């Protein structure tokens, strides 16, 4: 299968930081269909060789294990070419079309790795130039709007040129191996389904913690904040995968229909609930790993006195028969104690403990789905050490490390999603109605915050956020995983 991948925003951060390393990995793993071409598009004039040299140079800034040798890069770089385009000029799209038509690839994917303000013009021009045929797809990178109205505006423009099946909205968390394994765990095994309900599950926690600060992205981040950057998309997508009903098939729409139902079942926020069930924080200056680090307000391009949140913890519920009354806690933040993304399913304790010391929620079973830094599964149980008598039960865990189990190299989120986009596999992309429903749900929180002059609570770098986040779960008699 031949393909053309057009990267709009070909010299931008996303392209060299994430997409090129992912494409290189796919190439190295032998997964990129042979005979593909990758065309980077940007504003300035450069030759193909200059562009290849630019990307090669940038590889020195990506994770060491993902850097190519000179030889490997040279092989990969044969697929790369560059084209200068003024994104508002129809004749430039006509030229692009000629380039594509000369070859007549089986699949053509346009990846919009530009700022979202350019999405409308690119979509319109692609449509007008006839670059929206049945073998063509469009991939859109977040942020897709900053509220419901702006997301709907973008979706309308996209829909004017591309069908829903052609427009792929990326949420790179859905490409993480552990997330695909969550589907396999739930719907490929009979074991968990009978337990996957309010009668057996006490609460569910999704933590997406980062140890880095906002770095040089201060201006972008200050317009965004943790709720829009991580909760509206990544955390909610994980929640839907955990809470969805079994789909009738593995078909993309069957899965996305079920995810949408979960989003529609989330308890809507009132201003009182926002005050009670949502904690926002902002990191202050301090030390991290023995080094002094800036507070959010001292980061470059952050306006003085900003109320932008770098941390959110919230409690919600999925209002249906399976989940009624089960708290779902979502938490994310920058400059936290560790880079740690995981979902913890806390089961209810046994109804009648007969072993001494085994009472209470803290001794209950839990399933930990680890997304990063490692991906795997841990099932926490209690076991008797043996030796007879009335000894206490000890906690033990069954650990599954997917890399070891499959003796394979980890396939990153972008690698998986780029390959899916090229192959036209849609189930890991977000449909417009899911995305709009997620905005509908977070909007009351954004609105309540604009009415609240107190702003986010400060927290120390290297902590797990403001103390109010612990109080939020303690109110239900629960604790975050690291406090259990």
Residue whose CB is less far from ligand BG6, 118 or 479: 118
Report the C-alpha gap between 370 and 374 in whole angstroms.
7
Question: Please, what is the minimum distance in Å from the beta carbon of residue 281 to ligand BG6?
Answer: 15
* Whole-angstrom distance, CA of residue 23 vs CA of residue 19: 6
Q: Closer CB to ligand BG6, residue 207 or residue 365?
A: 207
Comparing CB distances to ligand BG6, the nearer of 113 and 318 is: 113
Residue 428 CB coordination number (10 Å):
25
User: In the stretch 323-342, what mask flags binding to ligand BG6 with x, by CB under 6 A?
Assistant: ------------------x-
Strands of 3-8's sheet in order across: 80-84, 36-42, 3-8, 107-112, 136-140, 167-169
Interaction mask 134-153, ligand BG6, x per CB under 6 A: --------------------
CB of 346 to ligand BG6, least distance (A): 23
- Shortest CB 288 distance to ligand BG6, Å: 16
Q: With contacts defined by CB under 6 A, how many residues of the chain interact with ligand BG6?
A: 4
Terminal Cα distance for the chain, rounded: 51
Residue whose CB is nearest to ligand BG6 in the complex, by number: 229
- For residue 223, the minimal CB distance to ligand BG6 (Å) is 12
CB of 336 to ligand BG6, least distance (A): 12
Q: DSSP characters for 269-330?
A: PPHHHHHHHEEEEEE-SEEETTEEE--GGGSTTPPTT----SEEEEEE-B-STTTTT--EEE
Instruction: Report the C-alpha gap between 279 and 109 in whole angstroms.
Output: 40
Work out how close the CB of 43 gets to ligand BG6 at its nearest, in angstroms, rounded to a whole number: 23
SS3 88: coil
Instruction: Closer to ligand BG6 by CB, 79 or 421: give it.
Output: 421
Contact 96, 83 (CB under 8 A): yes
Which of 207, 238, 205, 478 has its CA nearest to residue 364? 478
Minimal distance, residue 274 CB to ligand BG6, in Å: 22
Query: How near is the Cβ of 428 to ligand BG6 at its closest, in Å?
Result: 14
When the beta carbons of 89 and 212 are compared against ligand BG6, the nearer one is 212
Whole-angstrom Cα distance, residue 10 to residue 14? 9
Other Cβ atoms closer than 10 A to 325: 9
User: Does residue 299 touch ligand BG6 according to CB under 6 A?
Assistant: no
Residues 6 or more apart from 45 whose CB is under 8 A from it? 84
Rule CB under 6 A: which of 433-452 touch ligand BG6? none
C-alpha to C-alpha distance for 283 and 465, rounded to whole angstroms? 8
Selecting among 92, 234, 307, 380, the annotated active-site residue is 234
What percent of the residues of the chain are helix, what percent strand, and what percent coil, each to the nearest 5?
40, 20, 35
Site string for ligand BG6, 150-179 (x = CB under 6 A): ----------------------x-------
Based on CB atoms, which residue is closest to ligand BG6, 182 or 341? 341
Contact status: 210 vs ligand BG6 (CB under 6 A): yes
**Residue 21: both structure tokens together:** 């390393």
Nearer to ligand BG6, 210 or 309 (CB): 210
Which two three-digit tokens encode residue 406? 């499959």
CA 427 to chain centre: 15
Q: Smaller CB distance to ligand BG6: residue 7 or 238?
A: 238
Would you count residue 229 as binding ligand BG6 (CB under 6 A)? yes
Cα dist from 179 to 241, 340, 345, 403, whole Å: 8, 14, 14, 14
User: Among this protein's residues, is 307 annotated catalytic?
Assistant: no
Residues forming contacts to ligand BG6 in the complex (CB under 6 A) are: 172, 210, 229, 341
Residues tagged active-site: 234
């Amino acid at each position: 299968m031949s393909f053309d991948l057009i990267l709009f925003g070909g010299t931008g951060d996303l392209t060299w930081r994430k997409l090129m390393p992912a494409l290189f990995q796919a190439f190295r793993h032998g997964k990129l269909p042979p005979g593909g071409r990758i065309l980077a598009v940007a504003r300035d004039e450069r030759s193909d060789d200059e562009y290849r040299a630019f990307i090669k140079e940038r590889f020195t800034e990506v994770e060491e294990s993902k850097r190519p040798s000179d030889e490997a890069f040279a092989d990969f770089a044969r697929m790369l070419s560059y084209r200068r385009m003024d994104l508002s000029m129809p004749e430039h799209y006509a030229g692009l079309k000629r380039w594509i038509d000369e070859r007549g690839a089986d699949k053509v994917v346009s990846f919009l790795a530009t700022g979202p303000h350019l999405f409308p013009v690119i979509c319109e021009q692609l449509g007008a130039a006839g670059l929206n045929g049945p073998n063509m797809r469009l991939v859109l990178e977040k942020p897709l709007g900053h509220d419901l109205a702006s997301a709907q505006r973008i979706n309308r423009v996209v829909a004017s040129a591309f069908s829903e099946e052609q427009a792929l909205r990326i949420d790179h968390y859905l490409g993480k191996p552990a997330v695909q394994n969550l589907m396999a765990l739930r719907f490929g095994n009979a074991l968990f389904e009978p337990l996957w309900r309010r009668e057996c599950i006490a609460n569910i926690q999704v933590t997406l913690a980062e140890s880095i600060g906002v770095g040089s992205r201060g201006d972008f981040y200050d317009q965004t904040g943790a709720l829009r950057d991580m909760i509206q998309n990544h955390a909610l997508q994980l929640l839907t995968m955990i809470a969805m009903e079994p789909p009738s098939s593995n078909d993309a729409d069957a899965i996305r229909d079920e995810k949408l139902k979960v989003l529609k079942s989330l308890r809507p926020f009132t201003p009182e609930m926002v005050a009670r069930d949502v904690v926002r924080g902002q990191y202050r200056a301090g030390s991290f790993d023995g080094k002094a680090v800036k507070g959010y307000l001292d980061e470059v391009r952050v306006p003085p006195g900003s109320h932008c949140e770098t941390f959110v913890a919230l409690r919600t519920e999925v209002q249906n028969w399976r989940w009624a009354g089960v708290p779902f806690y979502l938490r994310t933040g920058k400059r936290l104690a560790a880079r740690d993304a995981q979902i913890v399913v806390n089961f209810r304790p046994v109804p009648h403990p007969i072993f001494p010391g085994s009472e209470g929620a803290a001794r209950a079973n839990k399933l930990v789905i680890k997304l990063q830094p490692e991906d795997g599964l841990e099932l926490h149980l209690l076991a008797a050490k043996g030796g007879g008598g009335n000894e206490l039960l000890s906690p033990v865990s069954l650990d599954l490390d997917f890399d070891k189990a499959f003796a394979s190299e980890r396939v990153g989120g972008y690698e998986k999603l780029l390959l899916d986009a090229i192959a036209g596999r849609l189930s890991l992309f977000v449909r417009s109605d899911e995305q709009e429903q997620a905005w509908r749900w977070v909007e009351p929180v954004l609105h309540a915050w604009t009415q609240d002059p107190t702003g986010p609570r400060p927290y120390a770098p290297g902590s797990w956020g403001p103390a109010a986040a612990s109080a939020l779960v303690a109110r239900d008699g629960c604790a975050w995983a690291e406090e259990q």
